[in-house]
C-alpha cells in the first residue's frame, strides 16, 4: 500500500442548509407573526421559531 497519500483531513466544515417551509406552514407562521406584531412580541416569537430574517413582514 503506497504511503505517499496524505491522511484525510479530520476538520469537517459544516455547510448550512436552509429550511424549507410548505405553503401551509408559511401561512400559519405569517398569521401567528401578525398576531405577535400587534401584541408587541414579534421578536420573541421569531426567535422561538429560530427565524432571524423574515422578508415577508
Q: What is the pLDDT of residues 2-29, one digit of tens each?
A: 566 777 777 877 787 888 999 999 999 9
The predicted-structure confidence for 25-52, as pLDDT tens digits, reads as follows 999 999 999 999 988 899 999 999 998 8
3-class DSSP state for residue 42?
Answer: helix
CA distance 57 to 42: 10
pTM of the complete model: 0.60
- The reported pLDDT for the residue numbered 54 is 59
Alpha helices in 1-57 (DSSP H): 23-39, 42-48
Nearest to 45 by CA among 29, 56, 57: 29
Q: What does each C-alpha distance from 50 to 1, 5, 10, 18 come to in angstroms?
A: 49, 43, 30, 12
Amino acid at each position: 500500500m503506497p504511503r505517499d497519500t496524505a491522511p484525510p483531513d479530520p476538520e469537517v466544515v459544516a455547510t448550512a442548509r436552509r429550511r424549507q417551509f410548505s405553503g401551509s406552514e408559511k401561512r400559519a407562521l405569517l398569521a401567528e407573526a401578525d398576531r405577535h406584531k400587534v401584541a408587541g412580541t414579534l421578536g420573541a416569537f421569531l426567535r422561538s421559531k429560530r427565524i432571524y430574517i423574515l422578508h415577508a413582514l
